[in-house]
Each structure stands twice: as structure tokens, then as C-alpha cells.
Amino acid sequence: MVVLLAALTVNARQIDVSRMTEDQIVAYAKRIHEKALTLDTHVDIPGGSYATPARDPGSEDYRAKCTLPKMEKGGLDGVFLAVFVGQGALDEEGYRNAYESAMGKFDAVHRLTGFMYPERCELAVTPDEVERIAKTGKRVIMIGIENGYPIGMDLSNVEWFYKLGTRYITLSHSGHSQICDSSGPREPLHNGMSEFGKQVVAEMNRLGIMADVSHIAEKSYWDLIEITKAPIIASHSGCRALTDVGRNLTDDQLRALAKNGGVIQIVALADYLRKVTPGRDEAIEALNAEFNLPAGRAARRALQELTEEKLAEYNAKMEEINEKYPEIPTDVKVYVDHIDHAVEVTGINHVGIGTDFDGGGGVPGFNDHSEALNVTVELVRRGYSEEDIIKIWGGNLLRVWREVEKVAAELQKGDKN
């Protein structure tokens, strides 16, 4: 009996749904979904045109995956909007441009909550505020910075961004930042965290900003684990054991994250979730090489440069590959497979949801926030309990955030003594 209970705790499978009809499963999931505080830790926004009449997140006509109407329809309580800045040159001009780009997005988020729709959404900068705002029925808006590049080499910018509402910083993006190396396939620049990056992490710990490991290189990850005084997050990552891409976390990384007390928020981007028929990737790689196309996503853009005749030839050969190595659909079930795996490796207290909507995220069945309930339904189908689903949808993230706040308070108290 003790062994059985332990297994249930580890695997978070506590509900027998085998005797429930589909209607009963959905009804039960709806009750849980309404009770849970549902949070998504990563949504991208466009530049300064966001939260303007041209790109109005409160409008039914705004064609984005994350809008206020879609959040309301899907019962999604809150989102971290990402102040994303792409990686550029590590020089004074690059840092200045990155800072200005970031400030445009900060202005947009504050415009959304403070001027456009204060009656429908509100900015939260603490877990207590998240809970308070959600209880009013408003959508909760939070801010994370995706890529520490806008900090430049000025450590005081960390506190400035904190004052603007930032509560997590993704330390790099698809290129090496001044803070650390990226997971992108290139030669290392710092061999992990830079010395300046270590100062940035210390300042984040002092202020109460969560350190986000999505996008950073493995060596950067292990350096961070060694130096941080607070739990970490992966705001939008998957499991490398299921989908072998550098952006996903290995099981060793997941175990270290759990030991650190952190949380992995599972990304909904198909490329990081997909299951691949053996031989398919190699066949596509060979086809792209035959047509002198670059590897990865860049090949899709390069296809537009082919002549009509060459494109027809390429498409015909791609059809042959599809027949021989059929593509395995990536849908909400595959998404929850990654939740399953993360729970099995880390335990139920270290897994959450971070979609990357409007930054490439979205799979059939969970393609925007209006479909958030489908995740809860799938979790119920797999036997997750109400308590566990509440943890996955937001409870775990809030626990980590509170612990980060606690560490910051202790560090600030020590500074005064």
C-alpha cells in the first residue's frame, strides 16, 4: 500500500476515469478549470504597435492567439507578456537599440493595462496581486523579458526593468547574449555564463526576478544552477527525452530543476513537441541540400525564392517523403505527453504551462487561449487529480515566485545589516 501511494504521488495519477463518459470527463474538467488559477508564462507581443487601434488585444477582430476575448472565452486567468528583443551586436549601439526596443514593448503593456482596458485587465507584480486580480474577474497581465540583451552592460538596468514590472528574465535568446551562451547551434562565446552574467543573476536574486533558462545553453544552465540563490524557471521549454532539440531540457536538467525548487513551463510550439518517424528528418535534410536550401526553419523562407518549376519538383519529392516517412500529428495530446514526462521526472510540483503563443506556439486542440480548457480535459483523461491540475495551471509557478520573493527579502535584509 505504501508503495502504491508513493507511485500515485510521483506520477500524479489519482483519478480513475475509466468509468466516466466523455461528457462527464468534460464536465468534471470544466469545474476544475473554473476553480484553478490558470496562468501562461510566455506570450509574445509585437513592437510598439501593440495595444493600439491597429493591434488591439481587446478586439474580437485582432488576429492573435492571445487576446482578452480569447482569454475570457478559454478561462485563462493570466499571462506573462514577453518583452522580447532579438539578439544583435554586443556593442554600445546594439545595447542602445535593444534598450529602446524593450522600452517600446514596456510602454505597450502599460498602455494595455493602464489606458486601453483597465476594466478588463490589470498588471500584477506579486503573486498576491495575481490572486487578488483574478478574483475580480479581470485578466492578470505580468511582464517577463525574453533575452537579457537590453540590460546591456549596465547592471542598474536590472533594477530599472524590475520597477517597470519585470518578474522574470530569459537570460539569452537564439544568439549568445552578454550574459550567457545560447542553446543555438554555434560555437560558445563565454563557455556558459559570463562574469557579467553572474552579476546579473546575483542582482536578479536580490530584487526578486526569476531567472529563466529557456533558450540558454546547457553549460549556461549548469553555471546558473551553481550560482543562483533562488529557484529558476523554464518559461517555455519541452522535454528533450521526447523531442531532441537543444531548446528542450534533458532529464538531468529536469532533475536539477526539481532539486533547485524550480518549475518547467511546457511550451506549445510544435517543433519542440513533435514525434518524428525515423528517417524523416534525414530525408528532408537531404532534400533541402539537393535544392541548396538552408537547414531548419530558414528553408521555408528560401522556398519562396525557387522558380515555379523547381518548387513543383521540390513539392513532388516532399510528397514522396511524406508517404514513406509520414508526419506524426502534434496536437494537444502530444503537448500533454511532455507534461506527463516532466511530471514523471520532476514530480508534480515542478511543471506548468508556457505556450509561446504569438511566437510560434500553438498545436491542434491548443492553438490559442480560447482552447485552454482542452488541456485540462486531457489532464483529467489521464487521471490527474484536481489538486495536481491546479498546481500545473498556476500553483507551481506562484510557489516558485513566492520563494524567489522570499530569497530577495532575505538578501536585502542582509544588505542592511
pLDDT digits (tens, 9 = 90+) for 201-213: 999 999 999 999 9
- Angle, CA of 262, 266 and 270, to the nearest 5°: 155
Which of residues 307 and 339 earns the better pLDDT score?
Answer: 339
| C-alpha torsion angle, residues 41, 45, 51, 53 (rounded to 10) | -140
Task: Give buried/exposed letters for 299-319 (b at 16+ CB in 10 A, else e).
Answer: beeebeebeeeeeeebeebee
Rounded CA gap, 216 and 224, in Å?
10
Determine the number of helices (DSSP H) and then strands (DSSP E) in the chain: 16, 9
Compute the average pLDDT of residues 118-124: 99
Same domain as 89, residue 188: yes
Which of 255-269, 276-290, 326-340 is predicted least confidently? Answer: 276-290
Q: What is the CA radius of gyration of the chain?
A: 22
C-alpha cell recorded at residue 20? 466516466
- Rounded to two decimals, what is the model's pTM? 0.90
**Both 310 and 177 in a single domain?**
no
For the domain that residue 156 is a member of, what is the CATH number? 3.20.20.140
Whether residues 301 and 381 share a domain: the answer is no
What was the pLDDT predicted at 6? 37
State whether 300 and 286 are in the same domain: yes
Residues 393, 285 within the same domain = no
- Asked whether the predicted pLDDT for residue 256 surpasses 50, the reply is yes
Q: How confident is the model at residue 188 (pLDDT cuts 50, 70, 90)?
A: very high
> Domain range spanning residue 186?
25-275+329-416
Q: What is the residue-averaged pLDDT of the chain?
A: 94
Same domain, 30 and 108: yes
SS3 content of the chain, % helix, strand, coil (to 5): 50, 15, 35
CB atoms within 10 A of CB 295: 11
Structural domain includes residue 45: yes
**297 band by pLDDT with thresholds 50, 70 and 90:** low
Residue 286 pLDDT: 94
How many domains does one find in the chain? Answer: 2
Domain boundary among 290, 305, 327: 327
Is residue 3 in a domain?
A: no
Mean pLDDT for the stretch of residues 123-127: 99
